[in-house]
A and B are shown apart, each in its own frame.
Chain A
Amino acid sequence: MAMLKTILGNLLRPSRTRAPADMPVVPPTYRGALTHDAGRCTACGTCAFVCAPKAIHFTQDPGISVSWHFFIGQCSFCGLCEQNCPTRAIHLRADVPGSTNSAGGDGLRLESVIHLQPCTRCGAAHVPLPAATMDALWAAGADEAERGYCPDCRRWAASARLRTAFTPDGAVAEGGRHDR
């Protein structure tokens, strides 16, 4: 009887079938299309490290750029890349990635080119830190010149700072050399 009541009730209600135009509401937490902000990416590789299906990888064009590659066909939309990205360069948007024709590979693959910049000190090409990170690191405007340094020069600068802090006169400098 429960079934009879139910189906007769169904007859009076509008149908539950959804038409193509009648799209369901996408929740804000929906893990949809993936975007990458090259400006924030430091090419640290965390996203590739946590990506179980290996949908993300990096390629290098030595001295010119680092490319972030993403293949949607391998993506499992787990969102770990977004969760673990230290600079929030990756974001999974709430909109549904449209179905795309794989013939040309468009839409299925994302490539984001992170251009290297020459170091303002040594000239070596490197991935610049995101602007926000730089603002946070050098908020005091302490050593404005360091903003353009490559990681090696940053280490050199830090080392120099340490040295000056440890021996303000710099007298030990000659005798304290050690192999790197």
Chain B
Amino acid sequence: MTSTTLPILLLLGGFVLQLLLARWLTPVGKGVLATAVVFASFLASLTLVPASMAGVAAEAPLLAGWDGPLSIGLRVDGLSVLFMVMGTGIGAAILLFSVRYMEHEEQGTTRFYAIMLVFIAGLLLLAGAADMLGAYVAWEVIGLCSYSLVGFWYKQKAATDGARKVLVITHLAGYGFLVGLVLVYARAGTLVWTDPAVAPAFTSGVAALFIVAAMAKSVMFPLHTWIPEAMNAPTPVSALLHSACYVKAGVYLIARMYVVGGGQWHEAMGTPLLAVGCVTILVGVIFAMAQTDLKRLLAFHTVSQLGYIVVGLALGTDLGLAAGLFYCLSHALFKGTLFMCAGAIQHATGTRDLRDLGGLASAMPGTAKVWIIAAASIAGVPLTNGFVAKWLLFSAALDKGLLVVVLVGWIGSILTAFSFLKATVNAFYGVPSTALLGKRIHEASPSMLAGMGSMAGLCLLFGVAPQLLMLPIVAPAVRSLGFDWAVEMSWLGILTDRGTIAVTVGGGVVLASAMLGLLVYRLAQAPAPGLVSVYSGGEPLPAGDRPGAVDFAEMAETAFHPVYSLDPDPGYLRIWRALTRVAGAAQTTAGAVLEDRPLLPIGLVAIAALAGVWLV
């Protein structure tokens, strides 16, 4: 057991412990155990950082040469470390949050924590796998874990339907990965990412197959439609799914492809991927604006944000990769936080419908603060890591002269800001809605607050001092992909080599003048508070009657109705229905045959497989 395998082994050990101790542990105990395990794994991952900073890839063969050149092993380079740290770090915070969140769950907590641990271990294995086969195995492990986690409340039809949709879309697209690696193996005889023999075999067709798989995992348009369906999962699952483990697998795959032959795939596939990313940014955010369910809103923002990350990666430059990877980390932080806030709100109020929320800031001040930090971050407000990420991304796009990307990103971020403005105002400010009247709303528990607060704090920390993250994590990852990126970056994410000091000064001045003004107001005679009521046309309005998120969304919907007609879901539904019909027909006609003679179909499949291998 080397330090390279330690993080994964810790998680698997935790998994075994969960199963063994299930009988004696309370739900809280299980949660604490899982949290401790993931945290330990996080610490173990951190020990890998110095090596990756030095540019050394730690190798750990697990099953060396079990079948000729095909070996399963770990090769932990900068990129792997980034994803491992992200997965375990965010995972630890989310599990800390789930301790209290899941404590009232009557059954299935063992299942929950055990699978969560495997889920995270799957990501670690994916990130650390030295070859494509290992990565594919991890890929499907993640998929299966997410299937069972999304369907955690398997007694609810919506949850199981969602889980099935997740599995079908991502698994079907995952065959792209499988077919691609089979092709590579057939041509090169090896599947090790870094093997020079792989490079010529890794044609752009293979890359396209990989990208399709990554698109489904990373919710790229038009394969994004599973994500809102996955919202029936427990909130920690959603948080983990969205922020760290699941959707980021696709990001990892795209980034990892740069290792092969110096990113030769990029030449052919870079532009399509960019286009997909740009469309995804807009589609995601436009759909997000129309949502009233807090979690669905966040889900569509994940779509949009993943678009940004993929755009960064698709740029194919050192700065672009750095931007994409930094964005990936930042997104993990703020999206995880936002989901946890949504979970806390649902935990406290029993609803996550924005129409039924309002005025929570007074009842849940801590959650409100955490939410605002994370929302500012996702909207790209200066002083947060979201700003740094966007700034880097725009700089990278500008370096390549891709102004359209900047424009799209710009519009996307404005829409994101509006969307979060709406969500924030609706959930935390204004008058509590009638649905909440009479309910005793409690603040999130300390451990929940600690889980999300720590991540929100990191959002701010890495917003002010991104170099803290850049130097040890992001830069080695970029370097491990074969790009030489010298981190020339100062506070607030200002690229020192590009001389944008104006941004710093401008931002500082705005802040300073605002502070000064506030001071003047405080010193000046205090205006009388609340002598008059808000003007409502001469007669009082019913309390709590205000245009909310839904009304904004509806107004926006009327205004940009043409854009909404892009929804691809009906198409899927049609395919789905056709498939069900075909399956039904097949069952009725061939059912008897298959049931009576099971050997026949198996034999047929075997023949087909043989024919396939022979043909290739």
Whether the complex brings A and B within 8 Å at their CB atoms is answered no
Q: Give the interface of A toward B (CB within 8 A).
A: none
Q: Give the interface of B toward A (CB within 8 A).
A: none
